[in-house]
């Protein structure tokens, strides 16, 4: 045996030992992910000193090329373990765009560590266990074989008693009161499985039944990864086979995948083999397949004609497909429709759990409420577990009877970080038998959860993707848009939806401060000015004369039945004032002078939508149009004479507006392109529409009133174009884009 020195860093009643991967805070031992631990050690060695991001990345990730998102995730993990606050930090302060600074004084001490000649180490005894008898025993170089049998038995008994006591204290620590009588929840540690860059974000991932493999896809293809070694190989499928993994078959050698075809990316379910057999199609127009644990059936969601509204079950070979459930109907004003998210089977293969999302008549960032329910595999015996606005889209049913699901981590904030929770459910009755418990948390939303057949390992994938605002310049010579650039350097959600009259300043909302706030920023600047702070502020637009900023605010985004407020804010300065307060306000928009027409749409429940005029000074006006297709996406031409809406699929409908009333004029179809929304260009002679090619490349189309389409901008395969809004002078455009961050698969053992 030999001794060596171990450094111990102490600050604010917290200890960090150099040779361990944990933090001791108030007597509680908290495990730390190795990379995050190395980040903390580097900061502790340099207290009060500004440490740049590059220094940390070069030191901690010297053997791997990673993005800043990995460092951001590690800092977030450390703050959570230390109980630190981002806005009022006690330990780790962020220096925007530069790096981090450790704020506390740090005391460094040395501690003896006993190690074997083989390099194994253990800490020297602490004062509480360093008794005179033990000290004397450790002075004997001949070891334990010279101690008396009685002393040896006594020591073994004391050791066993110590283990029991430690186990009892650890159990109590897991439910330590928080001072309000409730238990402080502890979370398991997520371990990284994939390390894809934002250029190739992981889009879906599922763990094999034996826990050895993860099947995942990214924009470059479908892959199989060996968890233990990290060895990764591309799945041997045709080049045009664009697919995501949905579920493993119980034999662990076959994988159920969803394949996407054509301009509409129509999904179908296929069966792939690890042994290299030809892929086999099971059924068309189906998505989100889940194989039952006994391997006899597959549950899935239909795609056409009612996307995501029906749950079906079929045999494992694709035989005998039958509908077993349908999404519920609207619950009243403010609600549009419902759809069913990917299903999960009970361990006994007799029941199915689903999350049903109830879509509200609003645009981002208002949250859609959701229901978690189970029913038997024949479609009967519906049991609603609970309904929650903050329920995510991922779930899985573990072998021990717990349903694991994603949920918003901070219900008071307006960021999309999600945690994983579990609730124990009787798989025979489908009823809950416990209360939700925290399993793990992290940065980003949880896209999916899968669990091994023995229930000892789970794999989830997180999507840290945000809406971002880009600025593009129009090339009058080529009649196309140049390569876009970011409007803002902030990595949180940023949604720009309007130009000021100068065509040089944009209006946008951002959740960079925790809630959606209204900003303005010149396109040649890198910083923004706050216009309005509040809660759930979204969709800034400009009045017809350009003197007022119009936006919508929701005081209770968790309750769609609460009226929303359409507000106005003078561009020249002054307090916000109420224009209209209504339930179910969707999109609002004004024409430009000489027209003074302003419109908002209002959902009356289900598919019933009315378009209503309003005046920013005098409030609500008359009804302009009524539809029964629930279409929430539309755009008013700059001259106020034409309204175009987008009912889904390939179509655009044009309505002429005369004397305050809209009449349907014509419908045009773009059979080669999927259409969801659009915005009129500055001249009002065409519409700018986001779409995607058959191979997944995002594009902006310019479509004239006759329905002729041309591609005016192409993007990268791993991004999504949401909209383009041209400035009044036509020289620049706002491009709304979804930008992926650290989108990867993570693993949790013994959860």
For 161-209, the pLDDT digits (tens) are: 444 444 444 344 334 443 333 445 667 889 999 999 988 999 999 999 9
**Tokens read off for 402:** 């717990």
**Tokens read off for 389:** 């606005």
Q: Where in the chain is the domain with CATH 2.130.10.10?
A: 191-464
Q: Where in the chain is the domain with CATH 1.10.10.10?
A: 2-124
Share of the chain above pLDDT 90, in %: 52
pLDDT value of residue 139: 36
CA–chain centroid gap for 617, Å, is 39
Share of the chain above pLDDT 70, in %: 84
Per CATH, the number for 466-739 is: 2.120.10.30
State the average pLDDT over residues 226-249: 92
- Residue 740's pLDDT band, with cuts at 50, 70 and 90, is confident
Q: Where in the chain is the domain with CATH 2.120.10.30?
A: 466-739
Of residues 95 and 331, more confidence is placed in 95
**Tokens read off for 515:** 């809630």
- 3-state helix, strand, coil split of the chain in percent (to 5) is 10, 45, 45
**Tokens read off for 116:** 């074997």
Q: What is the DSSP letter of 56?
A: H
Nearest CA among 382, 386, 336, 325 for reference residue 358: 336
CATH class of 191-464: mainly beta
- Residue 334's pLDDT band, with cuts at 50, 70 and 90, is low
Degrees, nearest 5: CA angle 419-420-422: 140
Grouping H, G, I as helix, E, B as strand and the rest as coil, residue 171 is: helix
For all residues of the chain together, what is the average pLDDT? 84
Judged against a pLDDT cut of 90, whether residue 409 lies above it is answered with no
Contact 217, 223 (CB under 8 A): yes
Grouping H, G, I as helix, E, B as strand and the rest as coil, residue 130 is: coil
- Residue 157's pLDDT band, with cuts at 50, 70 and 90, is very low
pLDDT value of residue 557: 65
Q: What is the pLDDT of residues 576-635, one digit of tens each?
A: 999 999 888 889 999 999 999 999 998 776 677 899 999 999 999 999 998 877 666 899
**Tokens read off for 137:** 């025993």
Judged against a pLDDT cut of 80, whether residue 37 lies above it is answered with yes
Of residues 298 and 558, more confidence is placed in 298
Grouping H, G, I as helix, E, B as strand and the rest as coil, residue 227 is: coil
Backbone torsions φ then ψ of 720, nearest 5 degrees: -130, 130
DSSP letter string, 466-493: EEEEEEEEEETTTTEEPPPEES----S-
pLDDT value of residue 105: 87
**Tokens read off for 151:** 């002393």
**pTM for the model:** 0.69
pLDDT value of residue 4: 54
Grouping H, G, I as helix, E, B as strand and the rest as coil, residue 398 is: coil
Q: Which CATH architecture has domain 2-124?
A: Orthogonal Bundle (1.10)
Distances (CA, A) of 78 to 55, 84, 111, 184, 194: 18, 8, 24, 18, 21
Q: What is the pLDDT of residues 51-96, one digit of tens each?
A: 988 888 888 887 777 778 788 888 988 988 888 887 778 899 887 6
- How would you list the strands of the sheet with 286-291, edge to edge? 286-291, 297-302, 310-315, 322-326
Q: What is the DSSP letter of 425?
A: B
pLDDT value of residue 88: 76
Using only the alpha carbons of the chain, give its radius of gyration.
29
Degrees, nearest 5: CA angle 116-119-124: 55
């Amino acid at each position: 045996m030999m001794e060596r020195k171990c450094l111990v860093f102490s600050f604010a009643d917290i200890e960090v030992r150099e040779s361990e991967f944990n933090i001791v805070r108030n007597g509680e031992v908290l495990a730390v992910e190795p990379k995050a631990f190395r980040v903390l050690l580097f900061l502790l060695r340099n207290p009060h000193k500004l440490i740049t991001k590059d220094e940390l990345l070069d030191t901690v990730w010297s053997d791997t090329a990673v993005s800043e998102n990995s460092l951001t995730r590690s800092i977030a993990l450390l703050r959570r373990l230390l109980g630190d606050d981002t806005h009022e930090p006690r330990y780790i302060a962020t220096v925007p765009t530069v790096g981090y600074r450790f704020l506390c004084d740090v005391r460094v001490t040395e501690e003896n560590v006993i190690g074997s000649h083989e390099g194994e180490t253990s800490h020297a005894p602490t004062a509480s266990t360093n008794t005179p008898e033990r000290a004397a025993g450790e002075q004997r170089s001949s070891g334990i074989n010279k101690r008396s049998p009685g002393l040896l038995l006594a020591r073994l008994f004391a050791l066993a008693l110590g283990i029991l006591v430690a186990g009892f204290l650890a159990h109590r620590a897991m439910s330590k009161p928080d001072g309000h009588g409730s238990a402080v929840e502890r979370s398991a540690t997520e371990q990284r499985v994939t390390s894809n860059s934002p250029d190739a974000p992981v889009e879906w991932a599922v763990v094999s039944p034996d826990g050895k493999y993860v099947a995942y896809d990214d924009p470059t293809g479908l892959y199989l990864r060996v968890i233990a070694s990290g060895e990764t190989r591309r799945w041997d499928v045709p080049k045009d086979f664009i697919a995501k993994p949905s579920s493993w078959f119980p034999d662990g050698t076959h994988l159920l995948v969803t394949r996407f075809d054509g301009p509409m990316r129509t999904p179908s379910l296929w069966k792939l083999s690890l042994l290299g057999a030809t892929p086999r199609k099971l059924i068309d127009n189906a998505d989100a397949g889940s194989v039952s644990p006994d391997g006899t059936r597959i549950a899935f969601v239909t795609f056409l004609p009612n996307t995501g509204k029906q749950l079906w079950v079929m045999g494992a070979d694709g035989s005998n497909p039958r509908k077993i459930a349908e999404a519920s109907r609207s619950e009243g004003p403010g609600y549009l429709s419902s759809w069913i998210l990917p299903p999960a089977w009970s361990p006994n293969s007799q029941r199915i759990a689903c999350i049903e999302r109830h879509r509200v008549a609003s645009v981002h960032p208002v949250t859609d409420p959701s229901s978690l329910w189970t029913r038997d595999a024949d479609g009967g015996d519906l049991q609603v577990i609970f309904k929650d606005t903050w329920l995510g889209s991922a779930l899985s049913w573990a072998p021990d009877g717990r349903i694991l699901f994603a949920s918003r981590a901070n219900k008071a904030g307006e960021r999309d970080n999600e945690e994983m929770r579990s609730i124990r459910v009787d798989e025979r009755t489908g009823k809950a038998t416990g209360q939700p418990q925290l399993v793990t948390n992290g940065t980003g939303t949880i896209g999916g959860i899968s669990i091994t057949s023995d229930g000892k390992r789970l794999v989830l994938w997180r999507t840290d993707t945000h809406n971002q605002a880009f600025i593009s310049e129009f090339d009058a010579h080529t009649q196309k848009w140049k390569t876009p650039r970011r409007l803002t350097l902030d990595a949180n959600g940023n949604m720009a939806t309007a130009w000021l009259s100068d065509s040089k300043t944009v209006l946008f909302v951002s959740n960079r401060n925790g809630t959606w706030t209204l900003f303005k920023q010149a396109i040649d600047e890198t910083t923004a000015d706050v216009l309005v702070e509040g809660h759930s502020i979204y969709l800034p637009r400009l009045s017809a004369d350009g003197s007022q900023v119009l936006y919508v605010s929701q005081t209770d985004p968790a309750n769609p039945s609460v009226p929303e407020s359409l507000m106005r804010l003078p561009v020249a300065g002054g307090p916000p004032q109420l224009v209209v307060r209504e339930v179910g306000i969707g999109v609002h928009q004004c024409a430009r002078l000489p027209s003074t027409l302003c419109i908002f749409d209002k959902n009356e429940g289900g598919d019933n939508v009315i378009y209503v005029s309003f005046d920013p000074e005098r409030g609500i006006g008359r009804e302009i149009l009524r539809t029964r297709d629930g279409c929430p996406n539309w755009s008013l031409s700059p001259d106020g004479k034409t309204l175009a809406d987008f009912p889904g699929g390939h179509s655009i409908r044009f309505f002429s507006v005369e004397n305050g009333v809209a009449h349907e004029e014509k419908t045009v179809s773009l059979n080669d392109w999927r259409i969801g929304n659009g915005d009129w260009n500055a001249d009002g002679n065409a519409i700018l529409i986001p779409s995607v090619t058959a191979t997944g490349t995002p594009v902006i189309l310019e479509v004239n009133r006759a329905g002729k389409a041309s591609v005016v901008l192409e993007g990268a395969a791993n991004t999504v174009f949401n909209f383009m809004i041209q400035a009044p002078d036509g020289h620049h455009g706002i491009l709304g884009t979804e930008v992926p961050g650290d989108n990867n698969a993570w693993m949790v053992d013994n959860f």
